[in-house]
Amino acid sequence: MKKNWMILIFVGASLLLLLYVKVSSIDVANDTASETQNNTPATTSESVTSQTTEPNPYDIPQPDDPRLTRLADGRVLYNPSVDASRTLDQTIDPDEALTVIDQLISHYRFAYKENPVGSENTEITEQLLGKNPKRIVFLDPQSQALTDKQLLDQWGTPYFFHALSAQEMEIRSAGPDQQHWTNDDFAINQAQQDSE
């Protein structure tokens, strides 16, 4: 009885091995075919579409990168950030505004591997405006949300930047009551977003 079981197991294992070898050879063939296709000059409509797709803002910028605009004073506009920051006005949804600011911080972190440093709104805002080592501008200097180098929410209260770590920043709007840390506040946390 035991011997029969062992024979069955052996036969089963052999079949599985054969199946694996077969599937692997098919995969290799497919990979080779796709590589050949990729090396062929793009002529299909699908390839053209992929070339016109928006560049990833987190790709490393090149010297003549269209995402960068160099200003006469030496500052460099990072257009994906600056364009996004132009949506910060009185009409934007409060949660959406936080998402945009979070995106600016995220782009800053992409450039410098850490968040802007500070515990006051002015300090963070100035760094987003170009007061940083490479003089990169992440926030439109003409943004409607700017007043006296402070980034204000829809109710005119400076956002609060809660520095949790080099990689994690909580951004808070005081909400309609214009008092921070009350029930009507809006807040966003990059790390929490990532984990969700």
Partner 1 sequence: MSKNLNHISRRQFLRAGTCGAMTIGPLVNTIAQLSLINSAAASALGGSLVGSDYKALVCIFLRGGCDMNNVLIPITGNPQADAYANDRGVVGIPNGITTSYNPTGADNTLPITVPGADPFGMHPSLVNLKAMFDNSEAGFITNVGTLAEPTNKNDYSTTSLPKQLFSHSDQVTQWMSSISDKPYISGWGARVAELYHDAWNINSQTSMMITAAGNNQFMSGSSVSPFSVTSSGSISLAGFGTNYASALNTDGSYKTNSTGRRFEALERIMQYSHAHILEEGYGEVVRSARANETIINEAIAATPSDVDFDQIWLDHEADSGVANELKSVARLIAGRECMGNNRQIFFVDLGGFDNHANINGAQPALLDQLDRAIGAFNAGMKALDASTIDTDFSYDKVTTFQASDFNRTWTPNGTDFDSAGTDHAWGSHSFVFGGAVNGGNFYGSYPTLEVGGVNDVPSGSRGRWIPTTSVDQFAAVMANWFGVPIGSSEMETIFPNLNRFEDPFDISGTANLAFLPPYVPPII
- Binding range to partner 1, per CB under 8 A, among 3-11, 50-58, 80-88, 111-119: 111-119
- Which x/- pattern over 119-158 shows residues binding partner 1 (rule: CB under 8 A)? xx-xx-----------------------------------
Candidate residues 179, 184, 192, 193; the one interacting with partner 1 per rule CB under 8 A: 179
Report the nearest approach of partner 1 to the CB of residue 157 (Å).
11
CB nearer to partner 1: pick between 65 and 126 = 126
Site for partner 1 contains 180 (CB under 8 A): yes
Give the full edge-to-edge strand order of the sheet including 76-78: 68-70, 76-78, 136-137
> Cα 188 from chain centroid?
14
Site for partner 1 contains 75 (CB under 8 A): no
Q: Which residues of 53-63 are buried (b: 16+ CB within 10 A; e: fewer)?
A: eeeebeeebee
List own/partner pairs for 129-135 with CB under 8 A and 24 or more apart. Answer: 130/75, 130/76, 132/108, 134/76, 135/74, 135/75, 135/76
Site for partner 1 contains 78 (CB under 8 A): no
Decide if 160 contacts 171 (C-beta within 8 A).
yes
Other beta carbons within 10 Å of 124: 28
- Distances in whole angstroms, Cα of residue 75 to Cα of each of 96, 108, 137: 27, 14, 7
Report the nearest approach of partner 1 to the CB of residue 122 (Å).
7
Report the nearest approach of partner 1 to the CB of residue 98 (Å).
17
- Binding range to partner 1, per CB under 8 A, among 14-22, 49-57, 82-90, 177-185: 177-185
CB nearer to partner 1: pick between 24 and 122 = 122
Site for partner 1 contains 162 (CB under 8 A): yes
Residues in contact with partner 1 by the rule CB under 8 A: 114-115, 117-120, 122-123, 160, 162-166, 168, 179-182
